[in-house]
Structure 1
Amino acid sequence: MASEKEEQFYKRLKEELENYTTWPSRYLYKFIVPSDKEKTSEIEQIFDNTGAVINTRKSSNGKYTSVSVEVVMESADAVIDKYQEVGKVEGVISL
């Protein structure tokens, strides 16, 4: 169950996306995960069959990997659904 802070964040994000974006629209997600092939694979699977362009880059010390996902989304709700799905991956930080 989402915390109140999380609910407020997604509510504010939805308002901003609806006010400043014409849908469908290209959206860029950015995540940081521990450098573990399994973690990046989980994120890639979430965006599988969406036409997403996914780029990964390890940090200078190799401990973390940044994952950028550029994809055309249909609505603010669809953007938030993906954030919530990726949020279930252990250790992920959404930027």
Structure 2
Amino acid sequence: MSEAKDPEEFYRKLKSQLLDTTSWPAIYLFKFIVPTDPEKIKGIELIFDNLGAVINTKQSKKGNYTSVSVNVRMQDPDEVIEKYKEVGQKIDGVISL
């Protein structure tokens, strides 16, 4: 999920799609790409700490980037969007998919 020129419009569309396609609460899969840096990966893990999240990481072939997948139960689309925003604000260089 890369942010468009107007992030708020992007999040409005995302919320609408999530409401249309998912029964809430639901297990949601977040996917992030970060430069391989243990501090950045730990930062993402801390954002989802105490939520019962299952977090998996996988380094790219050259080891420059790490994919972080987070499976976690979310109550509604607003909670999903808040997590995306929190990761974007706290983790430099993150790409949200």
Deviating runs (4+, > 6 A) in structure 1?
Answer: none
- Could you tell me the TM-score, scaled by structure 2's length? 0.93
Q: Which runs of 5+ in 1 are unaligned?
A: none
In the other structure, the counterpart of 1:61 is: 62
**How big is the shift at 1:5?**
1.3
What SS is found at the alignment partner of 1:87? helix
**How big is the shift at 1:68?**
0.2
| 1:47-94 C-alpha deviation (Å, 9 max, x unpaired) | 000000000000000000000000010000000000000111100000
In the other structure, the counterpart of 2:6 is: 5
In the other structure, the counterpart of 1:25 is: 26
- What percent identity do the matched residue pairs reach? 58
Letter of the structure 2 residue corresponding to residue 59 of structure 1: S
In the other structure, the counterpart of 1:77 is: 78
In the other structure, the counterpart of 1:37 is: 38
Indicate the RMSD between aligned Cα atoms, in angstroms.
1.1
Count of equivalent residues: 93
Q: Which runs of 5+ in 2 are unaligned?
A: none
- Could you tell me the TM-score, scaled by structure 1's length? 0.95
